[in-house]
Chains A and B, each alone.
Chain A
Amino acid sequence: MTAWLIKTSLICVLNVAVALLLSPLAEGIMRKLRAAIHSRVGPPITQPYWDLFKLLGKEDLRSTNGIVYAGMPALTLSSVLLLATLVPMGSAAPLAFAGDLIVVLYVAAMSSVLIMLVGFSSGSPYAFIGGSRELMMVLCVEPVLVVALSVGAFKAGTLALGGIVNWQVQNGPSISMAISGVAFFLALQAVAGKLPFDIAEAEQEIMGGSLVEQSGPRLALFRWALWAKQLVLAFLLVEVFFPWPRTGIFLVDLVVTALKVLVVLVLVAVVDVVNPRLRIDQAMGFFMRVWVSSLAALAFALIGK
């Protein structure tokens, strides 16, 4: 029992550390890639660390008083770190239990909802519009995540993430999981706030949307949360939909998974850089179609493909 506890807490710490400490690096690599496609030199890969460092040292300005508003950035980051402990990242998820899939979905949505609430309570018309756009994005992206993951749950016959991953490792690729993997990737693009779906921030239209009034340490925590979330969800994508090859050797698996995550993030950055921003109605229409396609994946799963 004690050994189990120690092991679980160790992996918890490891996952949180990866989410916290490596997510700025992932962001830095993505920025560098963007710059390369732009024919720019671009910032150093470590720039996001310096950004956080600089922002954390700045004055804490708030446009609204109130304890909930004050705690939002920390809450958002904590919800993402909680998510990191629920997602398998190179090894089994530390906080795995039967039905954790549903908890993962809820916790993943938490940060979006919190950022939306910050927008609504900032007292700025831009933040308000950003909040309502965030709401609409959540409403159309969440169903895609749900259906994509339930395809896995249906095939594996379990609501535990670990069970789904094991089933995938044992049974190999299938049409339904490939389709829902693509759907999950598109949803990841939106959740990470990357083009063409960075509609809720839309600097050129609403000056950063929900986060327009955030600055200094508050902005640092929000940014950190968003970077960590994109990394954790990329792990989730890789583990659930593309878990092969699995050697069983902890370190090798970790490295392979990390490499696959890097590939996913590179893809996210490439899609980001070759697209202009969609309008909210166009994005909603797009995710409606993605959702219908992921229902097709569910149908494939029903006939055992």
Chain B
Amino acid sequence: MGTTAPAVVGRVKESVAARCGGAVLSVTQPHADTLRFAIEKAAMRAAVEELVNKFQARFIISVGTDRRPLTGDFAILHLFSLDRAHLYVLLESPVPEHDPRIESITEVIPGANWAEREFRDAIGVDADGHPDPRRLLLADDWPEGMYPLRKDFPYNYQPPRAQNVRPQMGGPPSGASVVPMGPFFPVLEEPSYWRLFVEGETVVGCDTRLFYNHRGIEKLGDSVLTYNEIPYVAERICGICGFIHSTCYCQAVEKAAGIEVPRRARYIRTILLELERIHSHLLWLGIAGHIIGFETVLMQTWRIREPVMWLCEEISGNRKTYGMNTIGGVRRDLAEQIKPKLLETIAAVEKESIAVRDAIIGDATLQARTRRVGILTHEWATKICVVGPPARASGVAIDARIDHPYAAYDEVPPQIATQEAGDTWARVLVRVAELLESIRLVRVALTALPEGPICAEINEEIPPGRTGVSVVEAPRGEAIHFVLTGTDNRPYRWRVRAPTYPNLQAMPAMVANASIADVPITLGSLDPCFSCTERLETVDRKTRKIRVYSHAELLEISRGKAQTEGPR
């Protein structure tokens, strides 16, 4: 399991070469599971068509890199996964500075929609023929022509003030009225703005503006921080799956630099990753209950969850944001005396989780609210390239722990749960099954925990110009970190894609013709994590009208605060 079939690598190489002919500049295989093509940009779309149509490749993300200091051009890289073959395929095109555009691939694979808008915003390479070329991640008052991820752009730049900017949002179809949901809304823990177009109680369409939470993390990673500082920032990408992001980053660097992580460290990472999945599943279950007004589920699941947090605190010193990861392994050992307590707590959590599962599964009203609600068809799930429980609940059997094994998952393989219905109820069932599976995995990994060192010794500098792609299956789907190593002891480019990024793109299809009452639970069933998804910029911004203050005054106040308390 987990080894890349050389036959598939050969077929992919042949196929792409046959389709693109002389446009293929080079083909390399930096790692056993990574195949990298450099292609002229004119042939990019053809190569993508080949991968998607012939190999059912799953689009993951695009990475735009400003390579001008190195080679004088930009690079656009589309990252694909051939899940069954355990292979990543990287298609990279140089894009000259004088003609910063590349053909859009969104029509070939709709899941590339946001990724292409993002590299346009971040480094200024336009996707030609993109169906919706609006801003994605930059704030609405961000000046035109400023591309924050370009290398000549200072990380601490503050844009000039703008007046009366609003998101460019679509209007409702005739006969429909607008119900705004957000940017701040009771069931959304984080800001996101959905404009629902409704006729009566029926949603006939929606438009969305997200990325209110940019924090400039990627920019910090390749301009200020060093390799070993980034895990701590990566951990803060998300308040729930922090360990997942720091593991994912460390693995990407380790892979790029060829560092072998000791077995014990890989097991400790596995145990912590699964503990994080357990408490995240319980947290989500509670929030899902809260969204449909079922507070008892919220209160009980969070009560069950609490001992897991205490356990994490005992292992790492913190309930959350453990600070355990470092390049080459982990920073703290798992003490022998904690084992019995861990097993005991896990057993108690398992018992109570089963009780909750049985209560939920037998609840007719709960089913009435979730069955045939927010259906994501198998077809759309593959087109949008959704990941994690939403994908598995729509019959797409992908799981990074099996498709691209990392940590100790090659030795402790998980069983994955899938459902075919694609509705909210299916997503509930998948996540409840995964909760119990994670409990089993912790137990197995703990029993098999080998002796040995917990961190590799690293004596040499990490060589520049290497790439590493790493995935970690977060509770809500797969997180991806891409690292291109650089000089000055920091990555040249560090790209993060959280699972919510593809999953949210499926939302418009899921709420079409739904009732307003079903929109919150549909969104909630994706377990959206906005701060995960929105890592990029550094502008603080509050708009929305308020009666007492004028718009300009409010802007003034919010900016004054941003300047005194924000980055220096």
Q: A65-73, A219-227, A269-277: which one contacts chain B?
A: A269-277
Contacts of A204 in B (CB 8 A): 186-187, 290-293, 520
Contacts of A40 in B (CB 8 A): 299
Residue of B289, B294, B297 most packed against chain A (CB within 10 A): B294
Interface residues of B in 337-357 (CB under 8 A from A): none
Given contact pairs A277-B292, A282-B368, enumerate 9 new A-B contacts (beta carbons under 8 Å): A38-B295, A125-B178, A125-B179, A198-B293, A206-B516, A276-B369, A278-B365, A280-B517, A281-B515
Contacts of A132 in B (CB 8 A): 200-201
CB < 8 Å: which of A126, A199, A203 contacts B179? Answer: A126
Q: Could you write out 14 A-B pairs with CB less than 8 Å apart?
A: A37-B296, A39-B303, A125-B177, A195-B294, A202-B517, A204-B186, A204-B291, A204-B520, A205-B187, A276-B292, A277-B294, A279-B515, A280-B201, A282-B368
Tell whether B146 is near chain A: CB-to-CB under 8 Å. Answer: no
Residue of B nearest to A136 (CB): B201
Interchain CA distance A37-B359 in the complex, whole Å: 14
Contacts of B292 in A (CB 8 A): 204, 276-277
Interchain CA distance A202-B201 in the complex, whole Å: 14
Once the chains bind, are B519 and A205 in contact (CB under 8 Å)? yes
Q: Which residues of B contact A (CB under 8 A)?
A: 177-180, 185-187, 200-201, 289-297, 299-300, 303, 363, 365-366, 368-369, 515-520
Which 9 pairs across A and B sit closest by C-beta, in order of nearness? A277-B293, A38-B299, A276-B294, A276-B292, A204-B187, A279-B517, A125-B179, A204-B291, A275-B365
Once the chains bind, are A276 and B289 in contact (CB under 8 Å)? yes
Task: Kindly provide the distance from the CB of A100 to the nearest chain B CB, expressed in whole angstroms.
Answer: 36
Tell whether A216 is near chain B: CB-to-CB under 8 Å. Answer: no
Tell whether A14 is near chain B: CB-to-CB under 8 Å. Answer: no
Once the chains bind, are B289 and A38 in contact (CB under 8 Å)? no
Task: Kindly provide the distance from the CB of A292 to the nearest chain B CB, expressed in whole angstroms.
Answer: 19
Contacts of B517 in A (CB 8 A): 199, 202, 205, 277, 279-280
Contacts of A278 in B (CB 8 A): 365, 368-369
Please classify the interface of chain A as helix (H, G, I), strand (E, B), loop, or mixed, using the class held by over half of its residues.
helix
Tell whether A109 is near chain B: CB-to-CB under 8 Å. Answer: no
Known: A207-B186, A276-B292, A279-B517. A129 touches B201 (CB 8 A): yes
Contacts of A34 in B (CB 8 A): 295
Contacts of B299 in A (CB 8 A): 38-40
Tell whether A143 is near chain B: CB-to-CB under 8 Å. Answer: no
Residue of B nearest to A281 (CB): B515
Once the chains bind, are B516 and A275 in contact (CB under 8 Å)? no
Interface residues on A, range: 20 to 34
Task: Kindly provide the distance from the CB of A166 to the nearest chain B CB, expressed in whole angstroms.
Answer: 39
Interface residues of A in 46-61 (CB under 8 A from B): none
Contacts of B303 in A (CB 8 A): 39
Contacts of A275 in B (CB 8 A): 293-294, 365
Residue of B201, B291, B518 most packed against chain A (CB within 10 A): B201
Once the chains bind, are A276 and B365 in contact (CB under 8 Å)? yes
Contacts of B293 in A (CB 8 A): 195-196, 198, 202-204, 275-277
Residue of B nearest to A40 (CB): B299
Interchain CA distance A206-B289 in the complex, whole Å: 16
Interchain CA distance A276-B288 in the complex, whole Å: 10
Task: Kindly provide the distance from the CB of A50 to the nearest chain B CB, expressed in whole angstroms.
Answer: 21
Once the chains bind, are A273 and B515 in contact (CB under 8 Å)? no
Interchain CA distance A278-B179 in the complex, whole Å: 20
Known: A205-B520, A280-B517. A125 touches B186 (CB 8 A): no
Interface residues of A in 9-59 (CB under 8 A from B): 34, 37-40
Contacts of A39 in B (CB 8 A): 299-300, 303
Interchain CA distance A196-B289 in the complex, whole Å: 13
Interchain CA distance A27-B143 in the complex, whole Å: 54
Contacts of B290 in A (CB 8 A): 204
Interchain CA distance A204-B179 in the complex, whole Å: 14
Contacts of A38 in B (CB 8 A): 295-296, 299-300
CB < 8 Å: which of B186, B200, B289 contacts A203? Answer: B186
Contacts of B516 in A (CB 8 A): 129, 205-206
Task: Kindly provide the distance from the CB of B199 to the nearest chain A CB, expressed in whole angstroms.
Answer: 12
Contacts of B369 in A (CB 8 A): 276-279, 282
Interchain CA distance A234-B289 in the complex, whole Å: 28
Chain A positions 261 through 305: 1 when the CB is less than 8 Å from some CB of chain B, otherwise 0? 000000000000111111111100000000000000000000000
Contacts of A196 in B (CB 8 A): 293, 365
Residue of A132, A275, A282 most packed against chain B (CB within 10 A): A275
Task: Kindly provide the distance from the CB of A64 to the nearest chain B CB, expressed in whole angstroms.
Answer: 13
Task: Kindly provide the distance from the CB of A192 to the nearest chain B CB, expressed in whole angstroms.
Answer: 15
Known: A126-B179, A279-B517, A279-B518. A207 touches B296 (CB 8 A): no
Once the chains bind, are B296 and A274 in contact (CB under 8 Å)? yes
Once the chains bind, are A125 and B366 in contact (CB under 8 Å)? no
Task: Kindly provide the distance from the CB of A134 to the nearest chain B CB, expressed in whole angstroms.
Answer: 13
Contacts of B363 in A (CB 8 A): 276
Contacts of B295 in A (CB 8 A): 34, 38, 273
Contacts of A205 in B (CB 8 A): 187, 516-517, 519-520
Residue of A nearest to B299 (CB): A38
Interchain CA distance A273-B289 in the complex, whole Å: 12
Residue of A nearest to B196 (CB): A125
Contacts of A274 in B (CB 8 A): 296
Contacts of B289 in A (CB 8 A): 276
Interchain CA distance A278-B363 in the complex, whole Å: 13
Interchain CA distance A303-B429 in the complex, whole Å: 49
Task: Kindly provide the distance from the CB of A214 to the nearest chain B CB, expressed in whole angstroms.
Answer: 15
Residue of A38, A132, A198, A282 most packed against chain B (CB within 10 A): A38
Interchain CA distance A164-B293 in the complex, whole Å: 38
Interface residues of A in 103-133 (CB under 8 A from B): 125-126, 129, 132
